[in-house]
Every structure is written in C-alpha cells, then in structure tokens.
Amino acid sequence: MTWLLAITAGVLFAAGLYMILRRSLVKILVGLALLSYAVNLLLFNSAPLLPARPPLLPPGNGAPPEVYADPLPQALILTAIVISFGVTAFAVVLMRQVYGTLGTDDLNEMRCTDVPCEEVEIASEEEQMEEPL
Amino acid sequence: MKRARSILLATAARYLMPLMLIFSVFLLLRGHNEIGGGFVGGLVAASALMLYGIALSPAALRNLLPLEPRLLVGLGLLAALTSALLPVLAGRPFLTGLWLKTPLPVIGKVGTPLLFDMGVYFVVIGVVLWILLSLAEEEAQ
Amino acid sequence: MLTRQLTWLIVTLAGGVLFAAPAALLRRRAERLAAPLLALLPLAAFVQLLAALPAVRAGETAQVRFDWAPALGLSLTFTLDGLGLVMGLLISGIGALVILYGGAYLHGHPALGRFYTLLLLFMTAMLGIALSGNALLLFIFWELTSITSFLLIGFEHERAGARAAAWQALLVTGGGGLALLAGFALLAVISGSFEMTVWAAQAAEIAVHPLAPAAFWLILAGAATKSAQFPFHFWLPNAMEAPTPVSAYLHSATMVKAGVFLLARLFPVLGGLPLWTPALTTLGLLTLLGAAFLALGQTDLKRLLAYTTVSALGMLVFLLGLGTPPALKAATLFLVTHALYKGALFLTAGSVDHGTGTRELPRLGGIGRAMPFTAAAGGLAALSMAGLPPLVGFLAKELVYETTLTTVAPLLLSALTLLANAATVVVAVWIGWQAFWGRPGDRSLHPHEGTPGLWGPPLLLALLGLALGLFPSLSGGWLIAPMTAAILGHSVNVKLALWHGLTPMLGLSALTLLLGIGLAALRRTLQPRLAAFWRALAPFGPANLYHRFVHGLLSLASWQTGLLQSGYLRIYVLVIVLTTVSLAGLTIILNDVPLTLSPWQPPRFYDFVLVGVILTAALLVTRSRSRVATIALLGSIGFSIAVLFLLYSAPDLAMVQFAIETLTVILFVLVLYKLPKFSRLSSAPTRLADFFFALTGGLLMTLLMLLVSRHTSDASVAAYYAANSLAQANGRNIVNVILVDFRGLDTLGEMTVLAIAAIGVFSLIRLGGKAGRKQRAVTKGERAK
C-alpha cells in the first residue's frame, strides 16, 4: 500500500501543480485543494500503514498495545485538514472578490496589480546631488 | 436570489440538528479516551447548524444562535488560553494539565485539557459558522 | 560612589529615550518653554559627569552591568572612565546648548517637535556610546546614532537633495557599521567575550592571533566611515543638508568623533598590532591634507567648515595612529578643542544664515557691525581654530607640533601638518574676519542680529575655549590627563602652558599663522582656482565611485526584481518548484542517498478501488470545465481519502475529513455562481510543458515518499506518547492527547490561525459589500445622467 499511496500522492501533487499553473482563477483554487490532499497523504505515509490498529489505549492499566499506528502524523494531519478548510474558504472569497473587482479571471490580466506595468524611472534622486570630491 | 426550499429537507434538518448537536457534545466529551475530540465535535456541530441554516434560512439560524459566531471564536480562544494559564497560577509551567482527583460520572476525569478541548470545539464552530453564515447571508440579500 | 553616579547617568539615558516622543508634544503645548525644559536633561547628565570628575581624575572607574541576553554575550555593561567622561561632557554640554539654539533657529518651524525628539534620541545614543563597556551594546548605540543622523540630515525631507544626502550618510555609515559588527564578532571569537575590559586584559594574546588583522581592518572600516576618513569622507560635506544645529552637534562636535572615540577606546586592545601605526597614520594624513585643501575650494560656509572638520578628524586619527603618550595627549586635547571651536563656528554660520539669508562666503563681508555678538562668537572661535594664544587651540597646536617633532620623520610630518594647519588658518581668517569685518561682498544683504538663543550658545562655547586656554593647568589636569590615562591604561602627567619659552613648536606655530594669513589674503584668486581644480578631479573621486556603485546596485536590483517578480503566478510557482526539485535531487545525488525504496507489498482489493477512484477523479478534475462536476470530483477525492484514513487506523482523521468535505461542499455551493467559469486560457504548448513540469514534481514527491517511509523506523516519539498518554494526561486517545496536551501550544496556534482566516473572510466580504454598494451607486448615477 505504501507504493500505491506514494503514487497516488504523486499524481495528486502533479495534478495540483498543473492546476496551479493555469491562468484561470478558479483552477488555482482546485490546485490548492489537490495540493493539500497530496500533502496530507505524504504525512500519512511517513509512518507505517497498519490496518485496524488505531492509536487508542485499551481499557485497563493503559499499557500500549503491541502494535498501533503512529499517532503523531495523525495529529499533524488532523489540524492540517481543519486549517486547509480555513485557507480554502479565504481563497474562495478572495478570488470571488478579485473576480468581482477586476472583472476578469485571467491571471495574466492581473499582472499590473502586482508589478508596475509602466517602466518606472529609478534612482532619480541620486542624480540630484552635486558630486563633490 | 431566492431558492426553492425543500420541505422534506427543512423538516429533516429541524429534527436532525439537535440530535447531531448532542452527538457533537458526546464526541467532544469522550474524545480524550475514545474516537472524537474538539475538532471533530466542532465540525459535526457546525455541519448540523449549517444544515439547518441552509434548509431553513440563514436568518433562522442566526435567530437560533445564542451568540454571534465571532463571539464563539473569542470565547473558544479565551477558554483555551484560560486552560493554559490556570497551571501558571498554580505555579506550574504554561499549559500543564491539571486534573481533578475524583472522576465525574459519564464524563470521566476532568481537567484543564478538557477545557482546552472545549476551546477548540467553540473556535471550530465559530470559525466555520462565521465564514459560511456571512457568505450565506450575503447570498440571501 | 562613582557607581552611584553612573547609575544615575544610566537613568538619565533611559529618560532620554522616554522623553524623546513626548518632547514633540511639549513643543506644541509650550513653545517657549520647550527648549529650556528639554535642555535640562542633558544638563543633568552634564552635572552628574562633572560630579564624577574628581573621582575619575583620581584614577577610579566604575562599571554597572545588567545581563540582557547572556547566551549571546550581550549584557548592558556601562563603564565610566576618563575617556567616556570627557566625551560625555562634550556630548551633554554641547547637547544642552544645541537644544537651546535649535529652539531659536527653528522657531516656528512646523517640524520643530520632531527635531527635539530626534535630537534627544541622538544624544542618548551618543552618550550610550561614550558609556558602553560591552561591544555589542556600543554597536547598538552606534547604529542608533547612524539612524538618528539619517533622520536629521533628511529633516527637510521635502527636498530631494536632503533625502539623497541622508541616504548617502546612512549607506556609508551603515555599511561601516556592518563591518564594525563583523570586527567585534571576530574579537569575540578570539577572546570569547564582548566585554571590552576582557579584550583589554587579553590584548597580548589578541595581538598575535591570526584573526586580529582582519578584526582590525573591519573595525577600522567602521571607524573610518563614521569619522569620514578618506575615501569615505564625502558623506560629511553632503550631510550639511541638515539644519545647522544638527551639523554643529552631530557632524562636527560629537557623532563624527565616534569613530575616533572607538579607536581610542580600542587602543589598549589593538594598539599593539604592528598594523596600527602605519594604517592609521597614512589614513589620517591623507584625510588631513586632502580635506584641508578641499576646504579652500568651498564658498558655502557650512561646506567650508565640513571639510575642515574632515581634516580635523584626519588629524585625530593620525595622532591616535602615532600612539605615543605625547601624541595621545595631543589627540585628546585637540578633540576637546575642536569640538568647542567647530561647534561654535557652525552655530555662528547658522546665525549668519539666519541674519542675512545666505551662507555664501563671497557675498558676505562687514556684517559684524550689525551682528556684534555673533561676530564675537565667530571671531573667538576662529582664533582658537587658527591656534592663537591665549586660546585653547594654541595649546593643542603646540602639542601637535611637539608630537610630530619627536616622530621618526620629524621634518616630513611636521611640514605636512604645518601645511594642513595653514589651510585651517586660512578658513579661520575667512570666516572669523572676512565674513564679519572684510569688504562687503553683496550690499543688498540686510544683516540683523538674532535672538539671544542664536548667539548665546556659540558665544558660550567660544568663551569656554578661551577659558580652557587661559587656565592650561586646569584643562590639562582635569580633562586631558584623565582622558589620556584611560586610553593608555596608566596615569599620565599633563603639563600644559601658554609659554614654554622660545621652542621649535612656537616657531612652527608662528610659521603656520604667517603662511595661513598670507594665503587667506589671496581668497579671490585661490578659491575659484582650487574649486575648478577639484571639480575637474571629481569624476575620479570616491564620491563618484560611490554614485556609480549605488546606481549599479539599483540597476542590478531592478533587473533581478524584474526577473523574479514577473507578476505571473505561474512563474513564481515554476521557480519555487524547480528550485525544490533540483535541490532535493542534488541532495539525493551529492549525498549518495541509497535509493532503497519501501518494499513492495501486494495491496488489497479495496486499496485498488480507493486509489482508482482518487486517481480517476484527479485526472478528470484537471480536464473538467464544469463547476458542479469539479466540486463533485474534489469531494470524491476527499471522501476516498477519508475512507482510506478509516481503513488504516486513523478513525479521528476519517471523521474530520468527512465533516470538512461536507462543509467544503456547502462553501462551494454558496459561492459557486459568483465564481467565473472554467475557461481554458493557456495555449496547447504551454499546457504540454506544464504537464511535464507537473509530472517531474509529482515524481519527486513519490520518490521522496518511498525513500522516507523506508528510512523512518524510529518510533520512539510515538512510543513516548503511547507510554505517557494515560499516565500523564489521563487520556486513551493518543491523537487527541497530543492535540490538547502534549502539543497543546501548537494547537493554540492553529486555533489562532483559524480565527484569523475567519476574520480575513469576514473582512473581505464586508469590504466587497462596501465596494459593491459604491459600484452600484456609481452605475445608478450614470444611468440617471
């Protein structure tokens, strides 16, 4: 199963990357979701996969069972899932707002929100000083 | 935008919602020993409430809630922080678990981690409802 | 006893920081009272220092130390010795006068409050330098003076020239500051401490350490930039963009002396290096002579003074470089002398500017009748600058000649010093005589005397110069002796006198004066020619080099920003992922990571089903053009993963995943129709390229997972949690115990992040609502038209 899971995560990762490279706004959202699935699987696969051995202590004196799944990756993934919901919600709303404000879903057309589209003259102040020796 | 509401769903939600809320509290309280916990409990509770909100109307859900979702978030953070600071008052390091000697019936042992988990529970409910309810209310306008 | 005074001084320092911001308010509330009230703070420091003088003179030192970050070697160590004390007297004394002067000079200026704030901060930082015993602490104060200097040079930030000059000063002194920190770090590596007393105690070991020359050069770079030594001198004349009180205080009397002070402070540590004397004397002489003749080409009073300041700083570095007891005595005396007369002259120049509206020397002349007090102050200070008896400048000059005459090359060094000193005399005559009593240059000027605040402080400074000269034994015994003793590390006898008899020094002094006065008379021919000469040379000068360097740096920055910050998200992602892939690949190859992958175990039937669903959905979702289908496909991936969690012993995860998937669907449904459609925008070749690129990323991920799951067999963390879950945390669900107990702090952080995400969503919606309403209103208005 480790192999299968690794391949699955790899495909999810590749699909996520592919989607995040698209120019359409909504596809990036899909890419984000795919990437978070991939990362969760990556974490999950970092410990041996055991069927039907949940990390619960049996009743009694609390001695751990012989074999149990590693609880640490599970704790990590649990919070990651919940956080990714927050992130997705934020991204969704942000993109909806961007789409509403700019009226386009093509990322290439949003370039000017990030970099100055006209050439800006820099270092003009340096020239305003006389040059003594 | 008006949407046609399903009477079936509305009726089901009316009855399902309290059951799911009780289940979520159950998940929260036994989470320390069995499957469950604040995160799961909070998510189940939030799903229940949102189901109600969608089946009836966001306004109906808003009327039902005793507190604003953002106050729930604050309350949850406050609970978690209190559980973290209580041991400091007792002269122990930040976030040390303090436990009552005698276990309560049904719940079992009670200590600051349970308060912390309740904080998680309320933060999760608050965050999910705050996000989804704001969106739903905007949608309803 | 001394310790108590030092403690009070530290309290005063804290007061300087505390009162800096309210100072601006005070100005608004009580314009007239602000300057006198604020001057009380430096005055308090001055009085405390004076009170400490007898004990320090007797050879006592004090140290107060608070541990701040001991692990970093950072403790707040304050020391009080002769060197720091006299420096502190200058800083606090001149500081009080400059605050009074500044109140009058900038009277009615809208930003006078900011001026007070910055000046107080600067003064505190500068006093901090004088009193620091720990190199890191000194460095912090050092940088603070650079920053306040930057803000004060750019005080009139509406002017591009002021901004550019401020930038230049900050870049040069800031760059030097970095070098200084590196030098301190090296010394700490050698000695194991940042305490300067420790360094001094280990001076012998430090001197022979192979790292010592590097430390020396780095520290020298710091000192040379701060004290405007060649070739870093150019920032100081440009810093004259600052208001005149600032030039007087920071850029002549105190801050530019910080470099010299540091060299004096570290003389016990680095003075034994064979490099010390050749490096410092060469640097000092170059600066001394170069700046002296650069000065003669200037017509602006402040620039004129600025170049002579550079020259004087060169003299100080030269004398410190010689390092002999007479040289050190001369250095300390000259330092005090220079601070007094140059501070006074700068303030005078400001008053002249204030009273006539110009600082151009050729336009000035004969204004002394209208501005008698200013003329008196300027004249007295100029006499000291020229080195005439009975002023303190004379004493200093005598000592300098006494020093140069006892060096290995007495003739050469005395001649060079004499040349530079003659140039100083020229400037003194021009300013002290020409401007006030010479032939009027521009008759359209209407000079008038300012308020007492404008002539009082410079007059006081000039009179102090006279007093120190009239009582040589007092100034020698009480100021110069303790200061020199602190540098040398043992007590010295300083005997100053106005009359030594007919000595060679007296002859040199007379010669200097004659030469200087002769040259000064030739102003109308000398000045333009020198100016033209220096202008012709300017393209090869360090200032031009600096400009080209900065310009090149900015071009490089804009080029690489344009390269990296293209504004296309896909480029950013490509860069990030390609870097990750190649770094990970390189690590695997370079470190010879054995490519032993996880052993293949035959999967079970339902594994295939689940993975099949996930893979199909993942592939379909990249092709999907329907919003509903996309949500359904993402949901099926999520639910399959949840089942997978359930099958592989993670029931908690499964439940959370189920719940989140449900909520995500609700989320998407709520906003679905407000999102754009899935349009296909990229061209086919781009899509193909992205496909292969994504494939590489995915492959790396798979490879890493197979490697990782092979190599992490260490289950001790899990074992620890399992063993202690019930015993320490009363819980049987280990995952939940980790979340709420073992790693509770992490969870607290996660909750905060969630809350922030919710606040973000909420604000976005609110913002959108407002913007949307405004948009709708606009459209409505347009329709109405």
What is the full DSSP assignment across C287-328? HHHHHHHHHTT--BHHHHHHHHHHHHHHHHHHHHHH-SHHHH
Question: Both tokens of residue B104?
Answer: 């309560």
**pLDDT for position A113:** 66
Of B14-18, C313-317, C494-498, C689-693, which range is least confident?
Answer: C494-498
pLDDT band at residue A56 using 50, 70 and 90 as cut-offs: confident
Residue C209 DSSP symbol: S
C-alpha C534 chain-centroid distance: 30
Beta carbons of C755 and B73 less than 8 Å apart: yes
| Number of Cβ within a 10 Å radius of residue B115 | 17
Could you read off the pLDDT of B114-123 as tens digits, one per residue? 999 999 999 9
Domains held by chain B: number: 1
Average per-residue pLDDT for chain C: 89
**pLDDT for position A119:** 53
- pLDDT score of A120 more than 80: no
**pLDDT for position A55:** 87
pTM value is 0.71
**pLDDT for position A103:** 81
Query: Which of C296, C293, C294 minimizes the C-alpha distance to C527?
Result: C296
Interface of C with A in 369-398 (CB under 8 A): none
Which residue of chain A comes nearest to B132, CA vs CA? Answer: A89
- Which among C639, C701, C712, C746 is the top mutation candidate for probing chain A, defined by the most A β-carbons within 10 Å of its own β-carbon? C701
Could you read off the pLDDT of B34-57 as tens digits, one per residue? 888 899 999 999 999 998 988 888
Dihedral sign, CA of C723, C729, C730, C734?
Answer: negative
| HSE-CB of C43 using CA atoms within 13 angstroms | 11
Does residue B112 belong to any structural domain of this protein?
Answer: yes
Range of the domain at A82: 2-51+70-111
Tell whether C578 lies on the interface with A, counting CB pairs under 8 A. Answer: no
Of C449-463, C625-639, C724-738, which range is least confident?
Answer: C724-738
* Mean pLDDT along residues C430-459: 88
Domains held by chain A: number: 1
Our CA-based measurement puts residue A116 at a distance from the nearest CA of chain B, in whole angstroms, of 33
Interface of B with C in 53-92 (CB under 8 A): 54, 69-70, 73, 76-77, 80-81, 84
Question: Both tokens of residue C263?
Answer: 């060299």
- Which among B120, B131, B134, B138 is the top mutation candidate for probing chain A, defined by the most A β-carbons within 10 Å of its own β-carbon? B131
What share of chain C in percent tops pLDDT 70? 97
- pLDDT score of C711 more than 70: no
Backbone angles phi, psi at C299, to 5 degrees: -115, -25
Residues C273 and C271: their CA atoms lie apart, in Å, by 6
**pLDDT for position C785:** 45
Tell whether B96 lies on the interface with C, counting CB pairs under 8 A. Answer: no
Tell whether A86 lies on the interface with B, counting CB pairs under 8 A. Answer: yes
Tell whether A94 lies on the interface with B, counting CB pairs under 8 A. Answer: no
Among C634, C734, C757, the residue with its CB nearest the CB of A87 is: C757
Beta carbons of C754 and B44 less than 8 Å apart: no
The CATH number that applies at residue A78 is 1.10.287.3510
**pLDDT for position C78:** 94
Range of the domain at B52: 7-140
Backbone angles phi, psi at C531, to 5 degrees: -60, -45
Beta carbons of C738 and A72 less than 8 Å apart: yes
Q: Which residue has the higher pLDDT, B71 or C594?
A: B71
**pLDDT for position C27:** 72
H helix runs in A1-128, sequence order = 2-20, 25-44, 71-102
Residues 6+ apart with CB under 8 A from C276: C216, C270, C321, C323
- pLDDT score of C712 more than 70: no
- ipTM higher than the 0.90 cut: yes
pLDDT band at residue C391 using 50, 70 and 90 as cut-offs: very high
Question: Both tokens of residue C168?
Answer: 């230049």
**pLDDT for position C675:** 79
**pLDDT for position B2:** 45
**pLDDT for position B35:** 87
**pLDDT for position C352:** 93
Could you read off the pLDDT of C51-81 as tens digits, one per residue? 999 999 998 899 998 887 777 778 889 999 9
Crossing angle, helix B38-55 and helix B7-30, to 10 degrees? Answer: 170
Residues C642 and C627: their CA atoms lie apart, in Å, by 23
Name the amino acid, one letter, at C623: R
- pLDDT score of C774 more than 60: no
Does residue B1 belong to any structural domain of this protein?
Answer: no
- pLDDT score of C86 more than 90: yes
pLDDT band at residue C589 using 50, 70 and 90 as cut-offs: confident
Residues C736 and C744: their CA atoms lie apart, in Å, by 10
* Mean pLDDT along residues C351-380: 91
Question: Both tokens of residue C633?
Answer: 């496909």
| Number of Cβ within a 10 Å radius of residue C692 | 11
Residues B40 and B44: their CA atoms lie apart, in Å, by 6
pLDDT band at residue C769 using 50, 70 and 90 as cut-offs: low
Tell whether C532 lies on the interface with A, counting CB pairs under 8 A. Answer: no
Tell whether C669 lies on the interface with A, counting CB pairs under 8 A. Answer: no
Tell whether C733 lies on the interface with B, counting CB pairs under 8 A. Answer: yes
Most confident by average pLDDT, A10-24, B99-113, C712-726: A10-24
Residues B50 and B125: their CA atoms lie apart, in Å, by 10
Query: Which of C300, C238, C227 minimizes the C-alpha distance to C260?
Result: C227
Could you read off the pLDDT of C483-533 as tens digits, one per residue? 999 999 888 888 888 888 888 889 999 999 999 999 988 888 888 898 888
Residues C294 and C533: their CA atoms lie apart, in Å, by 10
* Mean pLDDT along residues C622-650: 91
**What chains are in contact with B, requiring at least 3 Cβ pairs below 8 Å?**
A, C
Backbone angles phi, psi at C565, to 5 degrees: -100, 75
Q: What angle do CA C111, C115, C121 make, to 5 degrees?
A: 145
Could you read off the pLDDT of C91-119 as tens digits, one per residue? 999 999 999 999 999 988 888 889 999 99
Helix (H, G, I), strand (E, B) or coil at A106: strand
* Mean pLDDT along residues B55-66: 90
Does residue B46 belong to any structural domain of this protein?
Answer: yes
* Mean pLDDT along residues A17-27: 90
Residue pointed to by tokens 């001790």: C716
Does residue B83 belong to any structural domain of this protein?
Answer: yes
Tell whether C763 lies on the interface with B, counting CB pairs under 8 A. Answer: no
Of A79-88, C285-294, C521-530, which range is least confident?
Answer: C521-530
Question: Both tokens of residue B76?
Answer: 């949850």
Could you read off the pLDDT of B76-89 as tens digits, one per residue? 999 999 998 888 88
Question: Both tokens of residue C643?
Answer: 């089942």
**pLDDT for position B106:** 66
- pLDDT score of C780 more than 60: no
**Plot region of B36 (φ>0 → left; ψ -120 to 50 → alpha; else → beta):** left
